[in-house]
Structure 1
């Protein structure tokens, strides 16, 4: 399924999402690898099959390498774990837990197999979807250290937001059918 085919499955009440999806597919503030990696990471973070397939197809058509696709999926996977853990530490009243070592394996973060900047951007997008403020802040700091513009960071957040909303609509419509 292509992004255009996915857009056509969206109901009329989700027209804004359809238009935003189209606009973001043409986003130029990010490199193609950054942009399509955000689409793939965001889709995998949510896991709605039709959206995952459409984002992966669009990314492949745009030339996203297998290494970058794997890196984006790895960002979704590791943030799926980290976002729950660190969000929990952040909201727990007992600060003692924040002093304990995480004792979770996270080696993919140090060696993601793609440009570190791109992996950080994809991790930020997934962290936004998963609602982890600590992780969002940590990834944004790393991106800014490497000179990424606010508008580029915002573009990744916009992609995550739209892919999330489209996924929710597709899942809701499937549940109602």
Structure 2
């Protein structure tokens, strides 16, 4: 499945989301590997097989094997870290913030792509997963590595639109909605 086929699968009531897909995947402040690494990791975080296949197919034209693996690593690590650190952040027990997590996270240091790209991807996935502590941490890291506010906004826009596509397609399928011909 391609991005165009993904757009065609969107119901009429999701016209804005459909139009936003192309816009967020062609933002000049991001490199191709930042855009497509973020898109792939966000598709994985959104957990919709149709979206994962479409984004994965398109990303393959823009990412090498190492960059693809880095995006997958970011999605996997954030799936774990965002839950753990969101709990630590929201818990009324302050002791959790001082306790060692004890979770293996070697992929954060050994991902194979440039550090800025990996952090931008991790930030976008953290936005999908709603972890304020991780958003704060990755936002700090991307700025330390030279990112602009426009780049941060760009990856979060990718996250928001890909998540909206996944949610819309799942809802449309459950309701039996069909796209316009």
When the two structures are superposed, what TM-score results if normalisation uses the length of structure 1? 0.97
CA contact (8 A) 2:39 2:159 kept: yes
Task: Look up the match of 2:106.
Answer: 107
Task: Look up the match of 1:60.
Answer: 60
SS at match of 1:101: coil
CA–CA distance in 2 between the matches of 1:128 and 1:47? 14
Asked if 1:37 is matched to 2:40, the reply is no
CA–CA distance in 1 between the matches of 2:65 and 2:127? 24
Task: Look up the match of 1:174.
Answer: 173
CA–CA distance in 2 between the matches of 1:75 and 1:11? 30
Structure 2, unmatched stretches of 5+, are 177-181
Q: Deviations over 1:35-83 (max 9, x none)?
A: 000100000011201100111111123x211111111011000000000
Figure out how many residues of one structure are paired with residues of the other and give that number: 176
CA–CA distance in 2 between the matches of 1:97 and 1:148? 31
CA–CA distance in 2 between the matches of 1:14 and 1:173? 10
CA–CA distance in 2 between the matches of 1:66 and 1:104? 26
Task: Look up the match of 2:179.
Answer: none
Aligned-residue RMSD, C-alpha: 0.8
CA contact (8 A) 2:116 2:146 kept: no
**CA shift for structure 1 position 25:** 2.0
Task: Look up the match of 1:22.
Answer: 22
CA–CA distance in 1 between the matches of 2:167 and 2:32? 25
When the two structures are superposed, what TM-score results if normalisation uses the length of structure 2? 0.95
Decide which structure has greater helix share.
1
Asked if 1:50 is matched to 2:35, the reply is no
CA–CA distance in 1 between the matches of 2:37 and 2:24? 13
Q: Deviations over 1:131-155 (max 9, x none)?
A: 0000001001000011110001100
**CA shift for structure 1 position 109:** 0.4
**CA shift for structure 1 position 176:** 2.3
Q: Deviations over 1:10-49 (max 9, x none)?
A: 0011000011001112221100000000100000011201
